[in-house]
A and B are shown apart, each in its own frame.
Chain A
Amino acid sequence: MRHGKYPFIIGFLAVPVALYAIFVVGAYLQMFRLSLTDWSGYGTFKDVGFDNFVKLWNDEVIWIALRHNGYLLLLLPIVTIAIALLFAFLLNVGGGSKGGMTQGVWGSKVYRVVFFFPQLLALALVAVIFQRVYGPDKSGMINGLLPDSWEPWLFLADEKWALTCILIVLIWQAVGFYVVLFSAGMGSIGQEIYEAAALDGASRITLFFKITLPLLWGNIQVAWIYLGIAAFDAFALVNIMTVNQGGPNNSTQVLSMQIYLNAFKYSQAGYASAIGVVLFFLALSFAWLTLRVNRSDSVDA
């Protein structure tokens, strides 16, 4: 039976591993090399040592972008998970019990279908739609709905609110997915547990905090990681929706946009690679931290 095993293994692995090695692993390895050069994106380059990293440290815009990513990284998961948990709870348990089964409120099936739909729309399309929804004059949906006597809201053109407008779009798109994810988790929590608790006179709020939340902890962690990745990216939204790709006045600048701008607009691909290297280590620590947290949790359980 050992006959032909290795030719088969090599035959099956060769193409996928080659593609992955060239375009993914290769890109990351070259990123380290290029971060030490003045490569413009085309043609030749020369080594500049750690100049890019020194520049990075002193680059005000990078720090602004980092802060904005932090803002999204903190708020996107918290708000999305809170809303999604509430809705999932209402849709699965909120309807009281009927025939011995706890069930969701009336119409929960329809809500689940409707909420989920934005997840299927490309973030780029969502960005185009919301750029118009936030239109700063009467052609925008929200300003069109406001009474004529009101000053139109500037939304994305307002430095103070532009990033929050982006955050709202991210939440708008994400909630449905996590409602479905948490619903699946709640579905696997035994009915008997809810029955027993309800018999003991537990209120819905007690049910939520004492039963649903602890038993859903695994799903919530997954959600946190996924939303963290989404918050890190946000490229499509910033590139399409905002004034001057990250404006006004860098008020919506994020790191993905900075990499893109430096690589393709400012012809500083070497510098863009240096930003990538720093992010690489940030992501690595994030992944390591997540693994640590998960491991200690599974020991507790």
Chain B
Amino acid sequence: MTNLTKTPRAATTEPVVPAKDTGRRVNPLGGVAHAALFLWALATVAPLIWVALASFKSNEEIFLDEPFGLPQSWAIDNFADAWSEAHIGQYFLNSVFVVVVSTAGTMLLGSMAAYVLARYKFPGNRFIYYLFVSGLAFPTFMALAPLFGIAQAMNLLDSFFGLIVIYIAYSLSFTVFFLVAFFKTLPHEIEEAATVDGAGHVRRFFQVMLPMAKSGLVSIAIFNIVGQWNQYLLPVVIMQSEDKYVLTQGIANISVSAGYQAEWGQLFAALTLSILPMIIVYAVFQRQIQAGLTSGAVK
């Protein structure tokens, strides 16, 4: 007992010792810490810098020179070839179109369903909620064969409309799950005031609830944009003709054919072209993106 009371007092009466002690301990640890962090940062950016440099090189240079050496002559035509010959421009536009429409659709339909499920009592409410949420437990690839069959039967194969509808359907689980929790936390008073003022159900949703839920909507929208932009499995199954490929699919396809034709410079240019917009968007919205994606994970 006496020991227990003595030890903390000893530490507080002689604050110099522990302070000095930690000071001594921090420095070598700090060195190792910096080294570890720096090495990981290097490992993160090195492949990207290497890709960017190689996109300006000829095949011979990629094979023979130092991987991080500057190109002898900057082969800009790699980019022109990637854009038009390898159709990166087309793939990029396809991706933008599909993601814009399907994220908008996911947000609209997801928030409508979530709002009703969070704020209204009716028979079947719990059942529908759990139906949506149960989708979270199963990875998409599991039901790939029947999904293909359904898309085939509904004439949705190889169609942008089909891909968009399927993106929306598979994004609803998480969107509804996240937004139901979010709508439940919003205060009831403002909604009641709007009702007293004579606003109907629909108007209350669009003019009162949605504006109040803005922060949650932004988070989940970022989550869906990133997720759908990066989707690979679904387009591989649904999109069959090359002019309808989305970016991920298109680049993967170039990489496979590059194995035989050895157009490495073009492949690297294609990669650079698809990484660059992400870097720019990330540099501008870095804070929101990090917050959006991680809050999506925590909820």
B75 within 8 A of A: no
Picked from B62, B68, B140, the residue with its CB within 8 Å of the CB of A139 is: B62
Q: Is A12 an interface residue (CB 8 A)?
A: yes
Q: Whole-angstrom distance between the alpha carbons of A262 and B145 in the complex?
A: 9
Q: Give chain B nearest CB distance to A109 CB in angstroms.
A: 10
Residues A91-112 near B (CB distance < 8 A): 91, 94-96, 105-107, 110-112
Partner of B64, one of A25, A106, A138: A138
B94 within 8 A of A: no
B279: A residues at CB distance < 8 A: 117
Interchain CB contact under 8 A, B144 and A117: no
Known interface pairs A16-B109, A20-B135, A129-B51; A240-B142 also in contact (CB < 8 Å): no
CB distance B109 to A141 under 8 Å? no
> Which A15-61 residues have a C-beta within 8 angstroms of B?
15-17, 19-28, 30-31, 34, 39, 41-42
Within the complex, the shortest CB–CB distance from B146 to chain A, in Å, comes to 4
B40 contacts which chain A residues (CB < 8 A)?
83, 87, 111, 115, 175
Give A79 to B11 CA distance when docked, in angstroms: 37
Chain A contact residues: helix, strand, loop or mixed: helix
A260 near B264 (CB under 8 angstroms)?
no
Residues of B contacting A172 with CB < 8 Å? 43-44
Decide if B294 touches A259 in the complex (CB within 8 Å): no
Interface centre among B66, B152, B201 (most CB of A within 10 A): B201
A78 beta carbon closer than 8 Å to chain B: no
Q: A30-B146, A129-B47 are in contact. Are A177 and B267 (CB under 8 A)?
A: no
Q: A86-B36, A139-B264 are in contact. Are A4 and B109 (CB under 8 A)?
A: no
Closest residue of B by beta carbon distance from A240: B252
**Of B180-188, B212-220, B282-290, the one with at least 4 CB within 8 A of chain A:** B282-290
| Count, chain A residues at interface, CB 8 A | 107
Q: Does A137 contact B (CB under 8 A)?
A: yes
Q: Does B104 contact A (CB under 8 A)?
A: no
**What chain A residues lie within 8 Å of B4 (beta carbons)?**
none
Contacts of B29 in A (CB 8 A): 94, 204
> Using Cβ atoms and an 8 Å threshold, which residues of chain A touch B264?
132, 139
CA distance A264 to B226 in the complex (A): 27
> Is the pair A118, B44 in contact by a Cβ cutoff of 8 Å?
yes
At the interface, yes or no: B298 with Cβ under 8 Å from chain A?
yes
Whether B293 and A119, one on each chain, are in contact in the complex, defined by CB atoms closer than 8 angstroms, is yes
Q: Is the CB of A19 within 8 A of B46?
A: no
Q: Which residues of A contact B26 (CB under 8 A)?
A: 96, 204
A125 and B275 in contact, given A86-B36, A260-B144 (Cβ under 8 angstroms)? yes
A123-B232, A128-B267 known; A263+B145 contact, CB < 8 A? yes
CB within 8 A of B282: which of A83, A120, A198? A120
In the complex, what residues of A have CB within 8 A of residue B34's CB? 105-107
Residue A193 interfacial (CB < 8 Å): no
* B149 and A19 within 8 A (CB): no
Query: Are A24 and B173 in contact, with the CB atoms below 8 A?
Result: yes
**Contact assessment for B251 and A283 in the assembled complex, using a CB-CB cutoff below 8 Å:** no
In whole angstroms, how far apart are the Cα atoms of A6 and B201 in the complex? 10
Residues from chain B with Cβ under 8 Å of A154 in the complex: none
Partner of A41, one of B33, B145, B236: B145
Task: Kindly report which residue of chain A lies nearest to residue B231, judged by CB atoms.
Answer: A122
* Bound CA span A54–B34, Å: 55
Report the separation of the CA atoms of residues A159 and B252 in the bound assembly, to the nearest whole angstrom. 23
Q: Is the CB of A284 within 8 A of B11?
A: no
Question: Of all chain B residues, which has the CB nearest A198?
Answer: B22
Is there a chain B Cβ closer than 8 Å to A279's Cβ?
A: yes
Q: What CA separation (Å) do A139 and B268 show in the bound complex? A: 12
Instruction: Determine which of B63, B109, B233, B289 lies in contact with A236 in the assembled complex, contact meaning CB atoms within 8 Å.
Output: B233
Q: Taking the complex as formed, is B100 at the interface, i.e. its CB lies under 8 A from any CB of chain A?
A: no
Cα distance A283–B231 in the bound complex, in angstroms: 21
* In the complex, chain B residues whose CB is within 8 Å of the CB of A209: none
CB of A149 within 8 Å of the partner chain: no
> Could you tell me if B165 and A23 are in contact, using CB atoms closer than 8 angstroms?
yes
Q: Is the CB of A280 within 8 A of B275?
A: no
CB contacts (< 8 Å) of B145 on chain A: these are 31, 34, 39, 41, 259, 262-263, 269-270, 272-273, 276
> What is the interface of chain A, defined by CB distance below 8 A to chain B?
1, 4-6, 8-9, 12-13, 15-17, 19-28, 30-31, 34, 39, 41-42, 83, 86-87, 90-91, 94-96, 105-107, 110-125, 127-133, 137-139, 141, 144-145, 172, 175-177, 180-181, 184, 198-201, 203-204, 219, 222, 226, 229, 232-233, 235-236, 239-240, 256, 259-260, 262-264, 269-270, 272-273, 276, 279-280, 283-284, 286-287
Q: Spell out B's residues near A (CB within 8 Å).
A: 8, 11-12, 15, 17-18, 21-23, 25-26, 29-30, 33-34, 36-37, 40-41, 43-48, 50-51, 54, 62-64, 66-68, 109-110, 112-113, 115-117, 120, 122, 128, 131-132, 135, 137-150, 152, 165-166, 168-170, 172-173, 176, 195, 200-202, 205, 226, 229-233, 236-237, 247-249, 251-252, 255-256, 264, 267-268, 271, 274-275, 278-279, 282, 286, 289-290, 293-294, 297-298
Interface contacts beyond A34-B146, A138-B63: sample of 5 additional A-B pairs, CB < 8 Å, sorted by A: A114-B41, A129-B48, A131-B255, A133-B47, A204-B22
